[in-house]
Structure 1
Amino acid sequence: MLERGFTNQNDVADFLHPDVAGLQDPFALHDMDKALETLDDVIQHEGKIVIYGDYDADGVTSASIMRLTLKKLGADPKVFIPNRFKDGYGPNMDEYKKLVADKIDLLITVDNGVSGKEQVKYLKDNDVKVIITDHHDLPDELPEADAVVHPRIPGAEYPCPYLSGAGVAFKFADALLGDDALQFADLAAIGTVADSVALKGENRVIVSEGLKRMHENNHIGLTALAKKCKLELNKVSSIDIGFKLAPRLNAIGRLDDATSAMELLTTSDQTLADDIVSETEEINNKRRSLVAEAFDQAQEQIEQQKDNGVLVLTSNDWHQGILGIVASRVVDQEHKPAMVLQYDKDQGIYKGSGRSPEGFNLFEALNAHHELFAAFGGHAQACGFSIEEPQLNQLITEVQAEPAKQAFDPHSPVEKKFDLSLDIKQLNFELIDEIGKLAPFGVGNEQPVIQFKNVHLNQKQSVGKDNSHLKAMIADATNQVSSIGFGLYQKAIDCSDELLNVYGQADVNVWAGRKNLQVMIFDFEVAPAGKVIDSLEKIYFDYRQKNLSKQLMNKFDKIVCFNPAYYEMLKRHDLSAEVIMADENCDGKNILIYDRPHKLELFEQFLNQQNPAHVAIYFHTTLTSRYLTPDLKHMKTLLKYLYSHENIRPEDMTKVAQYLQIDKNNIDFYLKVFFELNFVKMVNGFVKRAEVSKQRELIESPTYMKRLQRNDVEKILIESDFDNLLSWISEHKRQV
């Protein structure tokens, strides 16, 4: 939380414990009092009311909240949800004219309206009252409506300026109904998560409270939809909204008329709800199929444009409703701005959606060429537009200069962002519970991403209908955890058995009543250490278990020794290979390292001073004991025994070792350390207590330090497997 900007203890407490007490005064929103006065006047006169919504999940939840709220007040409003293909987004003059012809008295917009200055003026000129509730970017001039309820009006900024359209509608209900409006918090939560607004401040309260309210089953249609998604309403999370509920509501508006989505969320008829849910599932499956097909077809164009900084992908056949999703997938895959267009034969024009990665402002880039578009709008990371073919050809050329203008390098490696870097052994249920306290997760409060460094993906399996998903074990030398990665199977196969850095989110998988730790993998990359090890594997060879014959040794240009005794011994063997000491030059030669250094620093020095062509590592030694690790408890026991017994000679140490049940080699080692530190001394052939003038540390004993160094050599150079040895070399060899 500190890394995410929380430094005040009260802010931390509020964040960890979102409560309805954190809901803001709805009358702090601009024109809320005027809106209620206008609505009250129309209801009192039994006027005709129409709610004008939008076709995405935020739009239909906004319209649903407004419809249900007005019904509670005794009104019977009609709801108009524009058709993406016929009406487009926002105020549509043709539809507004129909509303005037129908002699309505009040229009209430939800999740749209602030861009409709001309359309609102038309309504006002025809004696129609207008209440705008919206959250989108403000134009230079606001429409002259009776009320504009918006969280970002200059001079009347609301404490939570990033409300969604559903959030604004919920505050409208709050102003009208008070605590009774909380029954709509679940719908507001869906719109808030679906519209990717920041889950901060009041938005966090709305989503948290909405998730709690879902189990009350206030909305038959929402219950039916959750059941179809195999979700239990009392266990729904913000992640479930983002990946299961919202996409299905969005799918209706992408491929069909979104009015049915609003009907689903407001109906009290179970049969109708079930019918709409079945239809929704069919539409969502069709949406998935269309996206997958278009994304697959786009790959050839992506490859053809691999040198371009901005990808422009076109087709006559792609469905207009899925262009934005395809663009998002292309950005995720290529990390480049992407524009995906479909040629509308009826209108003779290309219609498209654009998406861009963080660091590139797509709106700014395209707005620099706004004169080429028949229609254009959007924001930094997402745009929609229409453009004729000659202008498109010109745009394709000119837009390639835009990344450089923004100092955005589309070909640079993508920096992986993560919150925690953990070893696998640190992953446990307690940690996941702690992370869960930060929920609900979403934009502005993303679920923490964990990095697992220098790991392998073992037991790789392809899963899913198209076998594109990855199931594997993330493993290091001693631990492993199961994982799943959507669409990552082929990438995992391409990485073979390389050392990786893996990025994902920790979760709990429940199967057959058993809880298991699981990592949801987002991405992985060959670890820097892995890349170095790959190069080292071409240079270093493991001869530690080989039996060296004279014939084999003579295949090398030079044989390297760290110890003079082995150097002299090999010199007597009449080898054709040149025998040298480790400090002699062997650059560019094929060498065999015969013996081990007595401390790691000597081997590290060799690595960074020599540059041989190939290195076979043998590390011969005549040492029979390994890991003579100093045991402080045994050392104290021996010292206490020596201090309390007279007439003990060095040759008596075998019996002392037997009596104290301490290895004789260790007894000899400890005794030598005691002499060096002046804990004991020899008097007339006996070991006697010495008068220590000052406190001594074990590290002051050369013998003790040599033992520690020898243990390090044993552990790293002799006992480790070859991958771990190469990993150590990669960390201690300076890279050229």
Structure 2
Amino acid sequence: MLHSKMKWLLKETPQQDQIQALADQLGVSPMLAQMLWVRGIQNVDQAKLFLHGNLDHLHDPMKLKGMAKAVGRIQQALASGEKIRVFGDYDADGISSTSLMIALLNQLGANFDTYIPHRTKEGYGLNLTAMDHALEHGVKLIVTVDTGISAVPQIAYANQLGIDVIVTDHHEPPEVLPDAFTLVNPKLPDCPYPFKGLAGVGVAFKLAQALLGRVPEELLEYVTLGTIADLMPLQGENRILVRQGLNRMRDSSNLGIRALFETAEIQLSQIGSTQVAFAMAPRINASGRLEHAQIAVQLLTTEDPKEAKELAQHLDALNRARQDLVEEIANEAVIQLEQKMQLSPDGRVPNVIILAGEDWNVGVIGIVASKILERHYRPTLILGIDPETGKCKGSARSIQGFDMYEALTECSDLLEHYGGHQAAAGLTVQRENIGAFEERMNQLADQWLTPEHYVASTEVDLECQLCDANLALIESLAMLEPFGMSNPAPRVMMKGLRVKDRRQLGQEKQHLKLTLSEGSTELDAIAFRSGELATLMADHAALDVLGELQVNEWNGRRKAQLLVQDMAVRHTQWFDGRGNRNPKRYIEETYSAWEQVASGSAADAEKQGIVACEDFWRRDPFSQEIDLEKFSLWVYDNEVGIRPASPAKNMDTVPYELGKLKSLYMVDVPDTMQVIDRILDQGNQLERIHALYADTIAPAERLTIPSREQFKRIYVEMRNEGSWPAAMKGNSFIYRLQKQTGLSQRTLDYVMAVFKELAFIVEHSGTISMNDQPQKADLTTAKAYQELEQRTEVEQQLVGSSSEQLSKRFQRRYYKS
């Protein structure tokens, strides 16, 4: 078996007549109609708006509560020449919002400047020092973008200073709202605006639309960047804005955007939501994380080509530095987590992971938290400790079922500050309170979560056959673009595929390239950061895959390809390592690969067994070389399948039960196939069986069961010979029998043992001769004959069969049991 990382939840498929009716009315493929239906778009009007909505379908910005008042105050400032300050945030949404306002206010001929707080020196949002700074610079009106809805004391202070504040924001409003000149936020409880999912830059765009009296298409690229980067739902108005913005980006006149994509080596014609999310947004965000967000604002608003190129290269360098910093902190965090697991009584991953390190950069710890969560699927909090003050600033990421904001509220007496929502939050805690904080958070997890909560799940849009996964389907599904939050790229599931080829890619072999087949159809697939799975899939395994279909273009050729997100083998796998010259290294490498994909103590010694015949352990130094802290040693046993080898270093600490084994490595063949049947009967948890025994017996030397005629002929030849040396080596009589019967010397050894056991021949002083008066006997009653039958069956099935035959034999036997 190979377990999936996630639970796959296939969306309920509608009736075929419903799908066909929707497809006919829309003039689209049934596959696309089904995809729309399972996403909740189930009537023609909804579907037409989703597929073909344009700027004419945007809502009136004046429906936003406070918009009319905001427009009036800004127009007053424009008329009187009052200085306006745009106050933004340091993330990509805040940066794009600020850049949009610069473009807008330049059009309007305003007297203005901008201000974004420094992430580490000032922190998030408005602050009192920034209000003093505004007063010193003659600011009469502050317009916030992507921030301000919680700034109650800061705005009260601005009022005292005689500065009006217009808040435009999209974050959840608190119970107590600031006393601003006006608040513009679609999430305000009494705001009638129909669409609540705007990003901060989306609200700024609506302000621009209201001020200009038209839809400012020239500002759509800023909206696209901020909306995608801030993970806003790509539905409703956002879908229209982003789709139109992406069209403009592909022919962008914005020097900064062009330079940024050129630095990322992405052609403008290739730009989609994925390129914005994974190439553009991280570089924009890197400025606020490591230096100052104003650098990115300057890039997005410059009209100097040389400056645009230099700034884009600088952001690219900052992003690489950010990646290195994230990697460094993540490695330190992993080591710290492993140390915690070693100290834990059960050696498992904590239910809530809390890790803290001195001088961990607070600008990137949120990314680290996401990485740790992705690996272990536990609520995760990463804290950066200031060694001088002992103050810890942290970022938290959570899973379904564990409301992070509610959990932090339960711990509020231990925290200096916190804020956020169910899935993500920020907090500040003193160093001396970390222990108590961690203990309480884990207590909450014990109360709120069940074992099922610790398994990630993902929705699957469509189950299809490999023959359906073609360019036509991909091109049909492209009508659902742009993809992003609340409108993810379609996830398809295919089952029971054969892995025709697999290769590890990358300098560290960290990626996996697969060629999947079903009948005569083949499909290439790529699984990033899954290179270790190459050794955990048997050659003839039936593979289930979950992923996104995409077009792979290379040298002018276009092919369908699957971007694998998860995979699973649902049956016990048989790995053919027969004849491996270094089984010890094979076992250790396989164990290491399994450790990488397992979490906690999933690779305990009690779950990894090595089995051989008893005399193998006596004669082979293998048992002295293997790490008995990781593996348990076993001996074949006809009665129970296998039993513990003796002596074993970990005999007293490992609960030796066949039913607990997950992996079994066969480094020697058993005497009978009955042993294999016992193993499969009782090893109900076995997921992987590795055949590592030698297959050095040449076909001509393998055992066979002689026919009745061959036994007769041998007996006649023995009577004619009369007597012969007992030693088989160099024995001309035995050599002649081999020629006459076609039987191997090893088989003739057994034949002689049968005749000797039944007293047809006798041995005396190194010579064998015929018994003149033998008793009549059935050859099959001889123990030697029965042993020959058993050993022949073992050699035929375990040594002489092909890898595919061996795999089918054991899969069939396992399912039967």
Same fold (TM over 0.5): yes
Q: 2:570 aligns with which of 505, 514, 527?
A: 527
- Paired position in structure 2 for 1:101: 136
- Paired position in structure 1 for 2:101: 66
1:32/1:344 Cα in 2 relative to 1: closer, same or farther (>3 Å)? Answer: same
1:507 partnered with 2:663 = no
Amino acid at match of 1:435: L
Cα deviation for residue 454 of structure 1 reads 3.1
Which residues of structure 2 form unaligned runs of 5+? 1-35, 342-347, 575-660, 665-675, 682-688, 692-698, 707-745, 751-776, 784-788
Instruction: Judge conservation of contact 1:452–1:503 (CA < 8 Å) in 2.
Output: yes
- Paired position in structure 1 for 2:583: none
1:338 partnered with 2:380 = yes
Amino acid at match of 1:549: I
| Residue correspondence of structure 1 range 245-644 to structure 2 within 5 A | 245-303=280-338, 304-305=340-341, 306-409=348-451, 412-457=454-499, 459-476=501-518, 478-495=520-537, 497=539, 498-528=541-571, 539=680, 549=705, 575-576=780-781
Which piece of structure 1 moves more, 514-523 or 531-540?
531-540
1:491/1:295 Cα in 2 relative to 1: closer, same or farther (>3 Å)? Answer: farther
CA distance in 2, matches of 1:576, 1:292: 69
Q: Which secondary structure state, in structure 2, belongs to the residue aligned with residue 374 of structure 1? A: strand
- Paired position in structure 1 for 2:262: 227
| Residue correspondence of structure 1 range 149-188 to structure 2 within 5 A | 149-179=184-214, 181-188=216-223
- Paired position in structure 2 for 1:10: 45
Amino acid at match of 2:178: P
- Tell which has more relative contact order, 1 or 2 (C-alpha 8 A, sep 6+): 2
- Paired position in structure 1 for 2:121: 86
Amino acid at match of 1:242: A
- Paired position in structure 1 for 2:271: 236
Which piece of structure 1 moves more, 290-299 or 432-441?
290-299
Cα deviation for residue 346 of structure 1 reads 4.2
Instruction: Judge conservation of contact 1:48–1:106 (CA < 8 Å) in 2.
Output: yes
Amino acid at match of 1:373: L
Cα deviation for residue 470 of structure 1 reads 2.4
Q: 1:23 aligns with which of 58, 71, 75?
A: 58
CA distance in 2, matches of 1:397, 1:128: 46
- Paired position in structure 2 for 1:562: none
CA distance in 1, matches of 2:54, 2:129: 44
Cα deviation for residue 308 of structure 1 reads 1.1
Q: TM-score, normalised by structure 2?
A: 0.67
Q: Which secondary structure state, in structure 2, belongs to the residue aligned with residue 265 of structure 1? A: helix
- Paired position in structure 2 for 1:116: 151
1:279/1:617 Cα in 2 relative to 1: closer, same or farther (>3 Å)? Answer: closer
| Residue correspondence of structure 1 range 118-157 to structure 2 within 5 A | 118-157=153-192
Q: Which secondary structure state, in structure 2, belongs to the residue aligned with residue 503 of structure 1? A: strand
Which residues of structure 1 form unaligned runs of 5+? 556-571, 579-589, 595-613, 619-717
1:332/1:307 Cα in 2 relative to 1: closer, same or farther (>3 Å)? Answer: closer
Cα deviation for residue 288 of structure 1 reads 0.8
Deviations along 1:300-346, one digit per CA (max 9) or x if unpaired, are 22333334101111211422211000100111110111111111124
CA distance in 1, matches of 2:387, 2:663: 53
Which piece of structure 1 moves more, 86-95 or 461-470?
461-470
Cα deviation for residue 291 of structure 1 reads 1.1
1:465/1:272 Cα in 2 relative to 1: closer, same or farther (>3 Å)? Answer: farther
Which piece of structure 1 moves more, 312-321 or 186-195?
312-321
Q: Which secondary structure state, in structure 2, belongs to the residue aligned with residue 105 of structure 1? A: strand
Amino acid at match of 2:235: K
1:270/1:402 Cα in 2 relative to 1: closer, same or farther (>3 Å)? Answer: same
Cα deviation for residue 458 of structure 1 reads 5.2
Deviations along 1:49-97, one digit per CA (max 9) or x if unpaired, are 1000001111100111111111111114211111110111111111112
CA distance in 2, matches of 1:74, 1:430: 51
Identity of aligned residues (%): 31
CA distance in 1, matches of 2:277, 2:517: 30
Q: Give the aligned CA root-mean-square deviation in angstroms.
A: 3.4
Cα deviation for residue 131 of structure 1 reads 0.9
Instruction: Judge conservation of contact 1:539–1:615 (CA < 8 Å) in 2.
Output: no
CA distance in 1, matches of 2:378, 2:778: 64
Cα deviation for residue 125 of structure 1 reads 2.1
CA distance in 1, matches of 2:438, 2:206: 44
Q: Which secondary structure state, in structure 1, belongs to the residue aligned with residue 480 of structure 2? A: coil
1:361/1:409 Cα in 2 relative to 1: closer, same or farther (>3 Å)? Answer: farther
Instruction: Judge conservation of contact 2:97–2:146 (CA < 8 Å) in 1.
Output: yes
Cα deviation for residue 203 of structure 1 reads 0.7
1:176/1:264 Cα in 2 relative to 1: closer, same or farther (>3 Å)? Answer: same
Cα deviation for residue 727 of structure 1 reads 5.4
Q: Which secondary structure state, in structure 2, belongs to the residue aligned with residue 437 of structure 1? A: helix
CA distance in 1, matches of 2:261, 2:317: 15
CA distance in 2, matches of 1:60, 1:398: 37
- Paired position in structure 2 for 1:54: 89
Deviations along 1:342-399, one digit per CA (max 9) or x if unpaired, are 1112433111111112332112112210111112111111111111111111111111
Q: Which secondary structure state, in structure 1, belongs to the residue aligned with residue 314 of structure 2? A: helix
Q: What is the aligned residue count? A: 587
Instruction: Judge conservation of contact 1:51–1:80 (CA < 8 Å) in 2.
Output: yes
Q: TM-score, normalised by structure 1?
A: 0.74
1:447/1:122 Cα in 2 relative to 1: closer, same or farther (>3 Å)? Answer: same
CA distance in 2, matches of 1:49, 1:482: 56
Amino acid at match of 1:486: F
Amino acid at match of 2:171: H
Deviations along 1:102-154, one digit per CA (max 9) or x if unpaired, are 22111000000000111111112222121111000101122121221111111
Instruction: Judge conservation of contact 1:361–1:380 (CA < 8 Å) in 2.
Output: yes
1:158/1:574 Cα in 2 relative to 1: closer, same or farther (>3 Å)? Answer: farther
CA distance in 2, matches of 1:4, 1:575: 69
1:725/1:118 Cα in 2 relative to 1: closer, same or farther (>3 Å)? Answer: same
Amino acid at match of 1:507: Q
1:309/1:28 Cα in 2 relative to 1: closer, same or farther (>3 Å)? Answer: same
Instruction: Judge conservation of contact 2:504–2:513 (CA < 8 Å) in 1.
Output: yes
Deviations along 1:456-480, one digit per CA (max 9) or x if unpaired, are 5554333335442223323456443
Cα deviation for residue 432 of structure 1 reads 0.7
